Structure 1
């Protein structure tokens, strides 16, 4: 149950470069640059509901069970199927354009998204 709770962005590295690589428009990137993203996670064993709350009341919710293929959605609204795995305490998923891992480090939620050589690392504190 380590992932469960409400988390608020504390810091992020590589945000602009990662968003540009994904084709997110500059005005949307600017709105989100200093936004304190709220992440809500509920966990029941291997089942998760993961919601990111973005600027302008936009949110993306993905529900998945570790090890089972699930319907997912990207921030841009692209729908796809993915299987989230648990590897050494990290949740790992491959999105259409990037690889994503989430882990708890020092009581903080650390999300790392990698597309080629571009990496977005977001660290959030528990609310």
Structure 2
């Protein structure tokens, strides 16, 4: 349904904003933040599970894939939009938790950066 898709997109947006805050809290300048963003984006896209099957990968790569929000978000969107399946609330909760972890890491990095100055 559209409401379930909205919830998934809200979770993806929250996780994305949290990752962006984390990256910007690590960087000292705008240029450094942009470079970190590009590197992080490439890693997230490669390990999203969209371009190759997750089932054939070693356990270490699977752990990386499922520690990032796209590893859970892409199957959620595919299940709702293409397969017509009901929302998997466990995966949705995992995406929100990953977003909360990145937000917490961003806050901690910001506090440490504030102490350095």
Q: Is the TM-score greater than 0.5?
A: no
Task: Give the greater-gyration-radius structure (CA).
Answer: 2
* TM-score where L is the length of structure 1: 0.30
Greater RCO (Cα-Cα under 8 Å, separation 6 or more): 2
More strand by share: 1
* TM-score where L is the length of structure 2: 0.31
More helix by share: 2
